[in-house]
Every structure is written in structure tokens, then in C-alpha cells.
Amino acid sequence: MQVKESLAWLTDVHEAWTGEELRVKLRVEPRRYYEISFVLKRYDKAILDAALFANVLHETATVPDRLRWSLPIWCDMQKLGADLAAGVGTVSGIVTAGYDFRAGGLVALIKARASYEFNRFACLRPEDYELMTIDTFDANSITFTDTTTKDFNAGSLLLPVRVARLDSPVDIVDALGGAQSYDGTAAFQCEVAE
């Protein structure tokens, strides 16, 4: 799956006739955007439509926590080297440097399975994954605020998750066209909100 990450700073540049410049920093931290295209199959359109209708993808402030859009940072995905049993509060044998982990942030654990279609919008069922909150982390391990409730075998996926909101309207494009079609695609451009 191709993921585009954009980092947006803001600078005011005043150019003199001589070519000299005065540059002024207008934003302390860059805004982060991700652009991902998904394939929509079967009920994906209905799920997406419901989310768009409820407007939960466009804002975060007024949306209840259970409906907030958690965006997995797909380009920061890594595999677990060992089994992680239910009831465990720490995952080790991983790399955290350079990945988007932060104390208080979210992490997704996704069960190893060959048949995932990650380019599909609703590719995961609730029993496939678990969202955990990071308490602390060091170079090779993460301690969660709670313990896992599911078993994750070696090869399962671990990836940071950020709360995001859509940055622009989503167009659902039917692949075949006409009333009989059910496949389509949707491109998301979203901004990391917090």
C-alpha cells in the first residue's frame, strides 16, 4: 500500500532585488498529512458512507472518543518477533527509534494473517486487532497502560496510531460504474490532529 506523508511548515520569505532574503518562521511544528487510497468492496462503502454522514472523519473536537478516527501509521509498521499472550502489558524485541511512538499515544496490534487486504478500507474485523495506549517506551520495548485482551502470535503487526481528521472531501469512485457495481476506490487526505 502506497502512503504519502506530507510535512508542512510555514515560512514567510521576503526577497530583495539583490537576491538576499529575510525568512520568518510562522509555525513552530510542521503539520502532518497522510494520503492513502483504499479499495472499497462489499460493505466498505456503507461503512465509509456512515462515517462520512456522521461527519466523524472531519473533526475530532466534538466527536466522542469511541468514534474518533484512529489512523494507523502504515509506513511505521513492524512485526512482532515473538508471541504476545493476552494479559501482557509490555511488548519487547521491537524498535522504537524513528517510529511515531510517544507516551500517551496509541498503538495498534494486528494479528498475523495472510489474507489481509490492507489496501481495502474495512480490512480489519474487531477480533483482528487491539488498540493500546502507550505508558512508557524505550529503545526496544513499549509498556502499555493496560494489558492486552487478545493473543498475538509472532509475525503480528505493531504500528503507531494517531488521531486524525480528513483534510479534504472524499470522493468515492466506482470502479465499474452503474447500479451493479460494488467495487470502488476512495482517496483520503487527512491531517494528524493530536
Residue 168 touches another protein, criterion: CB under 8 A: no
Residue 177 touches another protein, criterion: CB under 8 A: no
What residues contact residue 74 under an 8 Å CB cut-off, 6+ apart?
1, 3, 36, 118, 159
Query: How far apart are CB 75 and another protein at their closest, in Å?
Result: 4
The smaller minimum CB distance to another protein, of residues 56 and 107, is found at 107
Sign of CA dihedral 59, 4, 80, 156: positive
The smaller minimum CB distance to another protein, of residues 33 and 182, is found at 33
Give the CA distances from residue 36 to residues 1, 53, 121, 144, 152, in Å, rounded to whole numbers and listed in that order: 8, 20, 10, 28, 26
The smaller minimum CB distance to another protein, of residues 21 and 171, is found at 21
Residue 114 touches another protein, criterion: CB under 8 A: no
Eight-state DSSP code of residue 120: B
Residue 167 touches another protein, criterion: CB under 8 A: no
Residue 139 touches another protein, criterion: CB under 8 A: no
What residues contact residue 160 under an 8 Å CB cut-off, 6+ apart?
72, 73, 76, 99, 100, 101, 102, 105, 106, 107, 108
Query: How far apart are CB 89 and another protein at their closest, in Å?
Result: 26
Interface with another protein by CB under 8 A: which range of 22-30, 111-119, 124-132, 165-173?
Answer: 22-30
| CA 30 from centroid of its chain's CA atoms | 17
Residue 2 touches another protein, criterion: CB under 8 A: yes
Contact letters for another protein, residues 58-97 (x by CB under 8 A): ----------------xxxxx----------------x-x
